[in-house]
A and B are shown apart, each in its own frame.
Chain A
Amino acid sequence: MNSIQLLPIGTVDQSLLERLSKALTAEFIAGCEVLESAPEPSFALNMARQQYSSTEILASMTDRPVSAEARILAVTSVDLYIPILTFVFGEAQLNGRCAVVSTSRLRQEFYGLPANASLLVERLVKESVHELGHTLGISHCVNYECVMASSHAVELIDLKQRSFCRACRARALAFRK
Chain B
Amino acid sequence: MNDKAHLLIVDDEAVVRDSLAKWFQEEGFDVSAAMNAQEALAKMAAQHFDLALVDIKMPGIDGVELQSRMHEIDPEMVVIIMTGYASVETAVAALKNGAYDYVSKPFDPDDIAHTVRNALSHRNVERENTRLRETVATMTQPKEFVGQSPAMMGVFESIQTVGPTETTVLIRGESGTGKELCARAIHAASSRRLNPLVVLHCGALTESLLESELFGHEKGAFTGAQYRRKGTFETAAGGTVFLDEIGDINLKTQSDLLRVLQEREITRVGSSRPISVDFRCIAATNKDLEALVKAGTFRADLYYRVNVFPVQLSPLRERRSDIPLLVDHFVRKFSGAMNKRISRVSPAAMDLLERYSWPGNVRELENAVERAMVVAREPELQEQDFSVQASAAPECTRRSLESVEQAHVLSVIEDCQGNQTLAAEILDIDRVTLHNKLKKYGWRKTTAGAP
Contacts and interface: CB of A to CB of B under 8 A. Distances in A.
Contacts of A87: 109
Interface in B2-59: 3, 13, 15-16, 19-20, 22-23, 25-28
Interface string A123-155: 000000000001000011010000000101100
Chain A interface size, under 10 / 10 to 19 / 20 to 34 / 35 or more: 10 to 19
Interface stretch (A1-9, A63-71, A77-85, A161-169): A77-85
B263 interface: no
A85 B108 contact: yes
Contact of A139 (B1, B25, B112): B25
Nearest to A51: B106
List the 8 closest pairs (A to B, CB-CB), nearest first. Answer: A152-B110, A152-B109, A82-B19, A84-B19, A83-B15, A86-B108, A86-B106, A84-B20
Given A84-B23, A139-B25, A152-B113, 4 more contacts: A86-B106, A86-B108, A139-B28, A150-B27
A117 B31 CA distance: 39
User: Which of A55, A83, A150, A153 has the most chain B CB atoms inside 10 A of its CB?
Assistant: A83
A140 B107 contact: no
20 contacts: A82-B19, A83-B13, A83-B16, A83-B19, A83-B106, A84-B20, A84-B23, A85-B23, A85-B107, A85-B112, A86-B108, A87-B109, A94-B25, A94-B26, A134-B26, A139-B25, A139-B26, A140-B26, A142-B3, A150-B27
A153 B105 CA distance: 18
A84 B116 CA distance: 15
Given A134-B26, A142-B28, A150-B26, A86 B3 contact: no
Interface of B: 1, 3, 13, 15-16, 19-20, 22-23, 25-28, 105-110, 112-113
Nearest to A87: B109
Nearest to A54: B19
A55 B110 CA distance: 20
Nearest to A141: B28
A12 interface: no
Contact of B105 (A84, A88, A140): A84
Contacts of A153: 109-110
Contacts of B20: 84
A132 to B, nearest CB: 14
A140 B28 CA distance: 6
A84 B26 contact: no
Contact of A86 (B15, B16, B25, B109): B109
Contacts of A85: 19, 23, 106-109, 112
B6 to A, nearest CB: 16
Contacts of A150: 26-27, 113
Interface string A78-114: 0001111111100000100000000000000000000
Contacts of A81: 106
B16 A84 contact: yes
Nearest to A150: B27
Given A82-B19, A83-B19, A88 B109 contact: yes
A85 B16 CA distance: 9
B115 to A, nearest CB: 12
A94 to B, nearest CB: 7
User: Which of A81, A140, A153 has the most chain B CB atoms inside 10 A of its CB?
Assistant: A140
A108 B245 CA distance: 76
A37 to B, nearest CB: 27
A82 B18 CA distance: 10
Contacts of B105: 84
A149 B19 CA distance: 19
A158 to B, nearest CB: 14
Contacts of B112: 85
Contacts of A134: 26
A51 to B, nearest CB: 10
A152 B115 CA distance: 13
Contacts of B19: 55, 82-85
A54 B176 CA distance: 80
A84 B106 contact: yes
A88 to B, nearest CB: 7
Nearest to A82: B19
B27 to A, nearest CB: 5
Contacts of A142: 1, 3, 28
Interface string A48-67: 00000001000000000000
Contacts of A94: 22, 25-26
Nearest to B82: A84
A102 to B, nearest CB: 13
Contacts of A83: 13, 15-16, 19, 106
Contacts of A88: 109
B23 A82 contact: yes
A81 B106 CA distance: 10
A86 to B, nearest CB: 5
Contacts of A152: 108-110, 113
